Amino acid sequence: MSDTRGDTPVAALESVTVRYGRTVAADAVTVTVGRGCVYALLGRNGAGKSSLVHCLLGQQRPTAGRAMLFGRDAWRTRRHAMRRVGIVPEEPDVPPEMTAAEAIAFCEPLYPQFDRAGVGERLERFGVPADVPAGRLSKGQKGQLGLALALAPHPELLVLDDPTLGLYEELVGELADRGTTVFLTTHDLAGVETIADRVGIVVGGHLLLDEEIEALRGRFRRIRFGAGPSSTGAIPAEALAPLGALPVVVGGWGAETVATRFDEVAYERLCAQTGTARPEVSGMSLEEIFIAVHDRAKEVRR
């Protein structure tokens, strides 16, 4: 077998399409997750995130395209690949009657390397009791138990499917520092902004954006025009076009648009052509960028 380390992506989706009858859950999605990266796939419920995760983990065969783990087809090599992957599903999967201690004893023989002591230390730090059935734990404790078990084999890839990010933010940063690759899906945009290196935005099964988070922040800007002649919607289209501006929103307070390809030269040209007070430019949070991209996609598809 060839060496799958080095520059080979830890995980990848290659033009993955998933259909359920006539319903298209994912449409030709391509994503590459490099080694040591924290990749966040963003989308609202029903966007197709879980279908893509199931394909990536070899739990579901794509209708078209390929899902890859460590350079090999995930569907064909899942049994071997899972030894190198830790998974925390959206819904905790430890049986409700099983205690943490029993879950550890059950999982340990399944992995060549299983850090039993590390699991115990992590559960103690989280405050998760070892002798209480999972069904009686809080939702947060169930998630922490699942995370401790997922990390026990020291996985090369950790997959978090729509987690409660408040539980994981500090740990994900720590794992990234150690070189562990993290792939997560979420709609908790505020939580992911401080931990992700790269993000993808999926709407209705379509991947609309796949980019380094710093580059994303650099090219998206909110531009606001004060009340006056230009706030009537008569802002020159030829000045807005180089900025990749989304449709202008007009109100009694003035007007605003979102630039998707902001640069200083195009902005200065805009200022020269509007003939009004200099428009105000401000950065955007990841949540604001997501809303702008999501809402624009919905308008286009109407």
* 74, part of any domain: yes
* 299, part of any domain: no
| 147 and 251 assigned to the same domain | no
Number of domains in the chain: 2
| 133 and 252 assigned to the same domain | no
| 185 and 245 assigned to the same domain | no
| 138 and 36 assigned to the same domain | yes
* 86, part of any domain: yes
Q: Could you say which of 162, 194, 212 is where a domain stops?
A: 212
Q: Could you say which of 179, 212, 245 is where a domain stops?
A: 212
* 291, part of any domain: no
Cα distance between residue 62 and residue 55, in whole Å:
6
Low-confidence ranges of the chain (pLDDT < 70): 1-6, 165-167, 227-234, 274-276, 298-302
- CATH assignment of the domain containing 25: 3.40.50.300
CA-CA distances (angstroms) from residue 25 to 16, 46, 49, 90, 151?
Answer: 10, 8, 9, 18, 30
pLDDT in tens, 144-196: 999 999 999 999 999 998 887 666 777 777 787 778 999 999 887 887 888 89
Cα distance between residue 77 and residue 264, in whole Å:
49
pTM confidence score:
0.88
Expressed as residue numbers, the domain containing 278 is: 221-283
- List, as own/partner pairs, every contact residues 259-266 make where C-beta atoms lie below 8 angstroms and the sequence separation is at least 24, other chains included: 259/219, 259/220, 259/221, 259/222, 259/223, 260/219, 260/220, 260/292, 261/219, 262/218, 262/219, 262/220, 262/221, 263/219, 266/242
Number of residues assigned to the chain: 302
- Yes or no: say if 257 and 248 are a contact pair by the CB < 8 Å rule: yes
Amino acid in the structure at residue 181 = T
Predicted confidence at residue 297, as pLDDT, reads: 77
* 6, part of any domain: no
DSSP letter string, the chain: -----TTS-SEEEEEEEEEETTEEEEEEEEEEE-TT-EEEEE--TTSSHHHHHHHHTTSS--SEEEEEETTEEHHHHHHHHGGGEEEE-SS--S-TT-BHHHHHHHHGGGSSS--HHHHHHHHHHHT--SSSBGGGS-HHHHHHHHHHHHHTT--SEEEEES--GGGTHHHHHHHHHTT-EEEEEES-HHHHTTT-SEEEEEETTEEEEEEEHHHHHHH-EEEEEESSGGGGS---HHHHGGGTBPPPEEETTEEEEEESS--HHHHHHHHHHH-SSPPEEE---HHHHHHHHHHHHHHHH-
Based on C-alpha coordinates, what's the Rg of the chain? 23
| 157 and 53 assigned to the same domain | yes
| 206 and 247 assigned to the same domain | no
| 196 and 236 assigned to the same domain | no
